[in-house]
Amino acid sequence: MDTILTYFDSIPSSHRSAILIGGIAFFWLIEYLIPLIRFNYKKINHAGINIFFTLTTIVINFLLAFLLFEASEWAVANKFGILQWIDLQFPTLSAWWYVLIGVALLDFFGAWLAHYVEHRVPVLWRFHLVHHTDTHVDTTTANRHHPGESVIRFIFTLLGVVIVGTPVAIIMLYQSMSVVLSQFNHANIAIPKVVDKWISYVIVSPNMHKVHHHHTLPYTDTNYGNIFSIWDRIFQTFATKDPETLVYGVDTYPDASENASLKSLLKIPFNKYRPPTTLNSDE
């Protein structure tokens, strides 16, 4: 574990880029070989929109990254936060447990909580809608976030770094895992249901997360997790649905051409609110 932490403490930007690009390429290939759904779409054209949002997310995170480093250095230097308290109270705790707790807590604040709040606060939901408008969910959907949402999620991650008292190495490890796991659980890949079920007891599996992308409530408001599935189980937001019955997208933006227009997507947060068409779907 010490070797892993040393690596992530000073991981080069080129390596982080390789993790992002390598993940997309790997799951993109698997989608060709064993697709869950055989979409009738031009995969390259669909990816173009999502890669644009991926690039805007990268730029925003790069420009704001210094805040994560400053927050981490302050927390560690002042022994502030959950991990720092654990380190003082349990100095002999295994590094593996220390890292696992740190990554899990960052996953809660930076992913689950951010995601949950976005679904509960109307102004934040408008930014998050861009992610849900994708009617062909695949691995490129993972980073389909409006620039405004990228800022929102960064703020939650920053909050998590301070509350958790996270060293830089664990932040970098968490972000790397978050990218790959998000690509994995959005990937359009067929996994035997029993295997997917067992995976979902630990991490967010593809079938588990796809439920969140069903186009109507109440499914849209379930399965908020990104890395670990434990948070949805603890807060009772876990749900299941046969992947063969899923309809991707969101009922308030059903127009496929509108959802494939970059100009339209960028304007979504500033559109008039559209109430959901189904408040309690039993589909």
206/138 Cα distance (integer angstroms): 10
Omega into 218 within 30° of 0, i.e. cis?
yes
Strand partners of residue 214: 248
Residues 6+ apart with CB under 8 A from 152: 114, 118, 124, 127
Q: What is the pLDDT of residues 19-40, one digit of tens each?
A: 999 999 999 999 999 999 999 8
Exposure of 159 by Cβ count < 10 A (0-12 exposed, 13-18 middle, 19+ buried)? Answer: middle
- Give pLDDT, residue 248: 96
Q: What is the pLDDT of residues 211-250, one digit of tens each?
A: 999 999 999 999 999 999 999 999 999 999 999 899 999 9
Q: What is the pLDDT of residues 164-209, one digit of tens each?
A: 999 999 999 999 999 999 999 999 999 999 999 999 999 999 999 9
Q: What is the pLDDT of residues 102-154, one digit of tens each?
A: 999 999 999 999 999 999 999 999 999 999 999 999 999 999 999 999 999 99
Strand partners of residue 189: 35
- Give pLDDT, residue 275: 84
Residues 6+ apart with CB under 8 A from 275: 252
- pTM (2 decimals)? 0.93
